[in-house]
Amino acid sequence: MFDAGDGPAVFVILIVGAIVAGSALVVEVKYEPPYWVHAVLWIPLILILSFAMLRLMKSTLLVLQYKHKAGEGRLES
Protein backbone atom coordinates (compact mmCIF):
# COMPACT_ATOMS: atom_id res chain seq x y z
CA MET A 1 0.00 0.00 0.00
CA PHE A 2 2.60 2.59 1.06
CA ASP A 3 6.16 2.60 -0.19
CA ALA A 4 8.82 5.08 0.85
CA GLY A 5 11.22 3.83 -1.81
CA ASP A 6 14.74 5.26 -1.68
CA GLY A 7 13.63 8.61 -0.24
CA PRO A 8 14.63 7.94 3.38
CA ALA A 9 18.10 6.73 2.39
CA VAL A 10 18.69 9.81 0.25
CA PHE A 11 17.69 12.20 3.05
CA VAL A 12 19.84 10.32 5.58
CA ILE A 13 22.87 10.37 3.27
CA LEU A 14 22.53 14.11 2.69
CA ILE A 15 21.92 15.05 6.33
CA VAL A 16 24.52 12.74 7.89
CA GLY A 17 27.03 13.63 5.18
CA ALA A 18 26.64 17.34 5.86
CA ILE A 19 26.97 16.88 9.63
CA VAL A 20 30.02 14.61 9.45
CA ALA A 21 31.80 16.48 6.66
CA GLY A 22 31.33 19.82 8.41
CA SER A 23 32.44 18.44 11.75
CA ALA A 24 35.46 16.69 10.25
CA LEU A 25 36.49 19.89 8.50
CA VAL A 26 36.25 21.91 11.71
CA VAL A 27 38.25 19.30 13.66
CA GLU A 28 40.89 19.10 10.93
CA VAL A 29 41.39 22.86 10.71
CA LYS A 30 41.30 23.46 14.46
CA TYR A 31 43.29 20.50 15.84
CA GLU A 32 45.07 18.85 12.85
CA PRO A 33 44.80 15.28 14.24
CA PRO A 34 46.28 12.24 12.50
CA TYR A 35 44.07 10.25 10.12
CA TRP A 36 43.45 7.41 12.56
CA VAL A 37 41.78 9.89 14.95
CA HIS A 38 39.38 10.87 12.18
CA ALA A 39 38.55 7.20 11.60
CA VAL A 40 37.95 6.62 15.32
CA LEU A 41 35.73 9.70 15.57
CA TRP A 42 33.69 9.67 12.39
CA ILE A 43 33.05 6.02 11.52
CA PRO A 44 31.05 5.30 14.70
CA LEU A 45 29.23 8.63 14.38
CA ILE A 46 28.26 7.84 10.78
CA LEU A 47 26.92 4.43 11.78
CA ILE A 48 24.99 5.70 14.80
CA LEU A 49 23.42 8.64 12.98
CA SER A 50 22.57 6.60 9.89
CA PHE A 51 20.81 3.80 11.75
CA ALA A 52 18.97 6.21 14.05
CA MET A 53 17.82 8.56 11.32
CA LEU A 54 16.86 5.89 8.77
CA ARG A 55 13.93 4.64 10.86
CA LEU A 56 12.85 8.21 11.62
CA MET A 57 12.96 9.27 7.97
CA LYS A 58 11.12 6.19 6.74
CA SER A 59 8.32 6.62 9.26
CA THR A 60 8.10 10.35 8.47
CA LEU A 61 7.74 9.74 4.74
CA LEU A 62 5.14 7.01 5.28
CA VAL A 63 3.10 9.28 7.55
CA LEU A 64 3.29 12.10 4.99
CA GLN A 65 2.09 9.72 2.26
CA TYR A 66 -0.85 8.71 4.40
CA LYS A 67 -1.68 12.28 5.45
CA HIS A 68 -1.70 13.62 1.89
CA LYS A 69 -3.34 10.50 0.39
CA ALA A 70 -0.42 10.05 -1.99
CA GLY A 71 -0.83 7.36 -4.61
CA GLU A 72 0.59 6.24 -7.89
CA GLY A 73 0.47 8.78 -10.66
CA ARG A 74 -2.31 8.17 -13.16
CA LEU A 75 -3.27 9.92 -16.35
CA GLU A 76 -6.91 10.89 -16.71
CA SER A 77 -8.59 9.29 -19.69
pLDDT value of residue 74: 76
Whether 57 is in a domain gets the answer: yes
Residue 22 sits in which domain range? 7-65
By CB atoms closer than 10 A (0-12, 13-18, 19+), residue 19 is middle
- Report whether pLDDT(76) > 80: no
Number of separate domains in the chain: 1
pLDDT band at 69 (very low <50, low <70, confident <90, very high): confident
pLDDT value of residue 24: 97
0.75 surpassed by pTM: yes
Residues 4-58: tens digit of each pLDDT: 889 999 999 999 999 999 999 999 999 999 999 999 999 999 999 999 999 999 9
Whether 75 is in a domain gets the answer: no
List, in sequence order, the alpha helices (H) in the chain: 7-31, 35-67
Contacts of 39 (CB under 8 A, 6+ apart): none
Look at residues 59, 50, 52 and name the one whose alpha carbon lies nearest to residue 14: 50
Task: Measure the CA–CA gap between 56 and 16, rounded to whole angstroms.
Answer: 13
